Amino acid sequence: MKTSTQLAPELRSGSQILIEMLLRNGVTQIFGYPGGTIMPVYDALVGSGLKHYLFRHEQGAALAADAYGRVTRKAGVCMATSGPGATNLVTGIANAFMDSVPMVIITGQVPSALQGTDAFQEVDIFGITLPIVKHSYIVRDVAEIPRIVDEAFRLAEGGRPGPVLIDLPKDISAGVGTLVEATPEPSPPARTADDDALLAASGMLSAARRPLVIAGGGIAISDSVGVFRDFIARTGLPVTTTLKGLGVMPTDDPSFVGMLGMHGNGAANHAVQNCDLLMVVGARFDDRATGHLSQFAPSARIIHLDIDPAEISKLRKADVAVVGELAPALDAIRPENRARTTWVRQCASWKKEFAWRYDAPGSGIYAPKLLRDMSRAHPDGMVITCDVGQHQMWVAQHCHFDNPLEHISSGGLGTMGYGLPAAIGAKVARPDATVVCVSGDGSIMMNIQELATLKRYGLDVKILLLDNSALGLVRQWQELFFEGNYSEVHLDDNPDFAGVARAFGIQARSIREPEEAADALDWLFATEGAAMLHVSIDSMENVWPLVPPGKPNHKMMQANPVNGK
């Protein structure tokens, strides 16, 4: 936390004090949308030095702040007025909470004297968001603002990160006071793992015949990627990842077996089901990763590393719990021997057996191959932001990631409409990086208005839009588990997406034939400024493999791309 320098006492508005405290906490960008009760803060923004990005919907602002927080590991800041402005932020707040993303949310509120009277645009956003924030405040006095802002950033970024809400009544933001210096609170000591637990984990790894690691998003959140890779190099352990753990090990690293779970790689799922020791690092046994929980890794003892003790034994009992900062814990775990050669070879054999294939039949563009080709040809450090649906799973399966910060995806909440605002937030955070939003025709319509935000700020974001004229993942489930009773999934009345993009001032191109793909990808990346490549694909294409509901991970439904889809 940054400490304040002493200022000569002088009157200023609560909004001016708020802006000053944001600056002192290192904030340079804000994502938001103005309105009545937040107007005093927007008045104080003028000439403050803070860069504000005006979105066309508050949800877009919150999702952009989420992506900014993921990329920078510093709290993204979003802001909106009371009532519908605040409630429109809720999905973005929940998204950040589910994926442990640092965020500070500032909402306007009706004046204190009107609270509880059903005043115009009054909602209890404090109460509404209680289950989806790490902490929240209602400011009752101008003098509280410095302390509250400092605490909000410390809480949002510390420990297991998450969103923190500051609800600011209009009489406080418009009121006057002096900038009262908050007494800096000492940072809490780093949570260190118990020595006995570290010793026990080392012993269990030494004795295991078939040890395996599940790497989760906590490794990237805690900036422990380098330490984790050193640990794997030292121990020789095979590694699987969750969706959020992708990139913790480079995709082509020999130790990387694949992503596990419902749409995971067959090699990863078989490795998990056959291991005798599972070391789970910064992951939480999510249901999409485990399949039928009682049949998940049935012969494995569990070592669970996490900074949040609430995650330990929440879903699967840990034989050894290592609670603390991941980097020092990983460095302290020292098995006496490397993983056994026979087991490592077995994992490598599964990788070969279940390697992805790209020789799909049909005359249309095969989305997995297109994404593989885009990823392999991408500039170093390209950031992919994903929407939610079939394309999200294809990106996870077929794109190459050298770093987890290259893969920005809504994991726990599964928020359609995430990709485009997230791409904006990622581009603001890393202006020199190539940022690509991979979206679907269902998801893009959720926040398509943010094409105007791209144009307004001249942001060089590339959009790869996969259009199957359907809500593809829902349609796939209806095909497989609801006897083909397709209910409200057809989108054959989609607009001309390339035409829509051009109407917003975004360059666009449409393709539907495989022989057009290579040239079109070259066009997308060579085009200066924002651009959209609209790709028509087969409406009946499915994501494979698939672990059916209620089944263990090794009971995957497979489709041979040579014989059918």
Query: What pLDDT score does 181 carry?
Result: 78
Query: What pLDDT score does 565 carry?
Result: 42
> 246-293, pLDDT tens digit by residue?
999 999 999 999 999 999 999 999 999 999 999 999 999 999 899 889
State yes or no: pLDDT of 16 exceeds 70. yes
Q: If pLDDT is split at 50, 70 and 90, which confidence band does 178 have?
A: confident
- What is the mean pLDDT of the segment spanning 128-157? 97
Question: Is the distance from CB of 411 to CB of 494 less than 8 angstroms?
Answer: no
Rounded distance between C-alpha atoms, residue 407 and residue 409, angstroms? 6
Query: What pLDDT score does 180 carry?
Result: 79
Query: What's the mean per-residue pLDDT of the chain?
Result: 94
Q: If pLDDT is split at 50, 70 and 90, which confidence band does 145 have?
A: very high
Q: Residue 291 has what DSSP assignment?
A: B
pTM: 0.95
Query: What pLDDT score does 9 carry?
Result: 57
- What is the mean pLDDT of the segment spanning 285-304? 93
Task: Pick 12-177's CATH classification: 2.40.40.20, 3.40.50.720, 3.40.630.30, 3.40.50.970.
Answer: 3.40.50.970
Query: What pLDDT score does 559 carry?
Result: 73
Of 180 and 416, which is predicted with more confidence?
A: 416
Q: Which residues are registered as beta bridge partners of 552?
A: 291
> 26-50, pLDDT tens digit by residue?
999 999 999 999 999 999 999 999 9
Residue ranges per structural domain of the chain = 12-177, 195-353, 367-536
| Helices 367-376/390-398 angle, 10° precision | 50
Q: Which of 142, 126, 133, 202 lies closest to 161 in space, CA to CA?
A: 133
The owner of tokens 């489930």 is 477
Q: Residue 313 has what DSSP assignment?
A: T
Pick from 52-61, 72-81, 378-387, 398-407: least confident: 378-387
CATH superfamily of 195-353: TPP-binding domain (3.40.50.1220)
> In angstroms, what CA-CA distances link 113 with 26, 110, 169, 314?
33, 8, 9, 43
Q: 367-536 belongs to which CATH class?
A: alpha beta
- What is the mean pLDDT of the segment spanning 399-408? 95
Q: If pLDDT is split at 50, 70 and 90, which confidence band does 564 have?
A: very low
> In angstroms, what CA-CA distances link 551 with 16, 288, 475, 482, 546?
56, 11, 20, 17, 10
